[in-house]
Amino acid sequence: MKVDLACVEDALAKSPPAVRLGMIVLALSIAFAMATLAGTSIGRALYYLSH
C-alpha cells in the first residue's frame, strides 16, 4: 500500500484546527510511549525521531 504524502498533507491543510491539534497530540503521545518503553528521555526520543 503506497501513501501519497502530498495527498495527506493536502487533507491536513484543509482540515479544521481541532483535527490538526488531535494529530499533534497523537504524535506526541506515540513519541512519549516510545520513550517510556525505551527508558530514555523525551528529548532524546524526539531527537532520534526527527533526525
Coil, strand or helix at 2: coil
- Report residue 13's pLDDT band, with 50, 70 and 90 as the boundaries: confident
| pLDDT surpasses 80 at 30 | yes
Q: Which letter, b or e, does each residue of 3-26 get, where b requires 16 or more Cβ atoms within 10 Å of its Cβ? A: eeeeeeeeeeeeeeeeeeeeeeee
The predicted structure's pLDDT at residue 36? 78
| pLDDT surpasses 80 at 3 | no
CB 23 within 8 A of CB 12: yes
| pLDDT surpasses 70 at 45 | no
Q: Quick count: other Cβ atoms within 10 Å of Cβ 30?
A: 12
pTM of the model: 0.56
Q: List phi, psi (to 5°) of 28.
A: -65, -35
The predicted structure's pLDDT at residue 35? 74
